[in-house]
């Protein structure tokens, strides 16, 4: 984070000193601002195995393609600083078309100061609904901007949906508790103190932990009772919760899975992998108190 923080401060300084240049010159934005941020995010900006400029798509050329494991993971579209990419829809729609027609799931739009990450396609959702992240390096504090930008790092970008979802949940919960009269200091103290036990997202678990309780996020965190203090117990609790939540055939299918798991022994690592798949497939967030 230290390198990213330095890059954020550097870019803010360049924009402050040379705004007129960046408002007219897209190439300067690419070279002076965007490249510096991506380098700090761990991308080898001059390595075509990681970053390819002017990537051809059916609808035109994306400014950059970010490559992971030999395949395009995200397109990056750059604009000059004079383009208000928050208020203007077309740049984001252009990026989404590049992604959709190439089967690329994610896109990043930036004018050097503002960064927007978007999921290119999802059935039944609007483009606005699929925005995962908006960062404004000029208007936001450097630490806040750096935290959100870190979701685009080479080591974290594959988890961008999960991370952005967790951050949104944190912001909503924090704001809600503030409205209920709890002070910021009290809430921060609560979040940073760990005495006796802690609640951990399942993607951070190793399988060796002993669960004390389990929670599912569904319009708020909900406790799901554990039939046993094990990863198998967490899996059973989540399956039972889903079986009750879904009506009709899907609920019946989940209940069958619950009964099957209930009858057989299950290694902790196997149960943990099943929980991670459930999170991804059902768009859930599951946390375990250990």
**CATH number of the domain where residue 95 is located:** 3.90.1570.30
Q: Is residue 178 part of a domain?
A: no
For the chain, what percent of residues have pLDDT higher than 70?
97
pLDDT at site 189: 65
Query: What 8-state DSSP symbol labels residue 138?
Result: T
Among 145, 163, 181, the domain boundary falls at: 163
Residues 138, 14, single domain; the answer is yes
Asked if residue 191 belongs to a domain, the reply is: no
CA–CA separation, 226 and 36 (whole Å) = 48
Write down the pLDDT at residue 193.
57
Contacts of 46 (CB under 8 A, 6+ apart): none
Of 163, 184, 207, the residue that ends a domain is 163
Domain of residue 249 covers 199-289
Residues 52-79 have pLDDT tens digits of 999 888 778 899 999 999 999 999 999 9
List for the chain the helix, strand, coil content (%; round to 5).
50, 20, 30
Which two three-digit tokens encode residue 94? 């252009």
Structure tokens at 144: 């806040």
* Other CB atoms within 10 A of residue 216 CB: 21
130 and 204 share one domain = no
Shared-domain flag, residues 77 and 203: no
Arithmetic mean of pLDDT over the chain: 89
Between 186 and 152, name the one with better pLDDT: 152
Q: Which of 46, 102, 106, 56 is nearest to 76 (CA)?
A: 106
Q: Give the pLDDT mean for 140-166.
A: 93
- Residue 224 domain-assigned? yes
d(CA 48, CA 39): 14
pTM > 0.85: yes or no: no
Instruction: Specify the number of domains making up the chain.
Output: 2
Cβ partners under 8 Å of residue 72, min gap 6? 52, 55, 65, 66, 102, 104
Q: What one-character DSSP code corresponds to residue 31?
A: I
**Tokens of residue 88, six digits:** 């203007």
* pLDDT band (50, 70, 90) for residue 197: low
Answer whether residue 110 is part of any domain.
yes
**Per-residue DSSP letters for 172-223?**
HHHHHHHHTT--HHHHHHHHH---S--EEEGGG--S----SEEEEESSSEEE
What are the phi and psi torsion angles at 221 (to 5°)?
-75, 130
Does one domain contain both 236 and 110? no
What is the rounded CA–CA span in Å between residue 29 and residue 161?
27
pLDDT at 195: 52
Higher pLDDT, 160 or 1: 160
**Backbone dihedral angles phi then psi of residue 109, each to the nearest 5 degrees:** -115, 135
Span 118-131, pLDDT tens digits? 998 887 788 888 99
The two three-digit tokens of residue 147, written as one number: 């935290």
Is a pLDDT exceeding 90 seen at residue 220?
A: no
């Amino acid at each position: 984070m230290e390198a990213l923080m330095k890059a954020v401060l550097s870019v803010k300084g360049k924009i402050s000193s040379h705004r007129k240049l960046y408002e007219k010159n897209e190439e300067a934005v690419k070279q002076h601002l965007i490249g510096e941020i991506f380098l700090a995010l761990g991308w080898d900006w001059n390595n075509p195995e990681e970053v390819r400029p002017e990537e051809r798509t059916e609808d035109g050329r994306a400014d950059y393609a970010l490559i992971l494991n030999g395949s395009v993971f995200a397109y990056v579209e750059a604009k000059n600083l004079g383009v208000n990419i928050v208020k203007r829809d077309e740049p984001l729609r252009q990026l989404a078309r590049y992604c959709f027609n190439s089967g690329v799931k994610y896109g990043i739009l930036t004018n050097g100061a503002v960064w927007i990450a978007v999921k290119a396609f999802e059935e039944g959702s609007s483009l606005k609904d699929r925005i995962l992240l908006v960062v404004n390096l000029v208007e936001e504090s450097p630490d806040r901007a750096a935290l959100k930008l870190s979701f685009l790092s080479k080591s974290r970008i594959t988890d961008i949906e999960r991370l952005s979802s967790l951050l949104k949940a944190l912001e909503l919960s924090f704001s809600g508790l503030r409205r209920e009269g709890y002070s910021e200091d009290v809430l921060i103290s609560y979040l940073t103190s760990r005495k006796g036990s802690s609640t951990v997202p399942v993607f951070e678990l190793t399988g060796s932990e002993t669960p004390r309780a389990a929670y599912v996020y569904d319009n708020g965190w909900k406790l799901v009772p554990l039939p046993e203090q094990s990863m198998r117990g967490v899996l059973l609790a989540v399956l039972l919760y889903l079986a009750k939540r879904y009506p009709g055939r899907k609920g019946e299918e989940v209940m069958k899975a619950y009964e099957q798991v209930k009858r057989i022994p299950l290694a902790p690592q196997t149960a943990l992998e099943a929980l991670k798949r459930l999170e991804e497939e059902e768009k859930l967030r599951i946390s375990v108190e250990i």
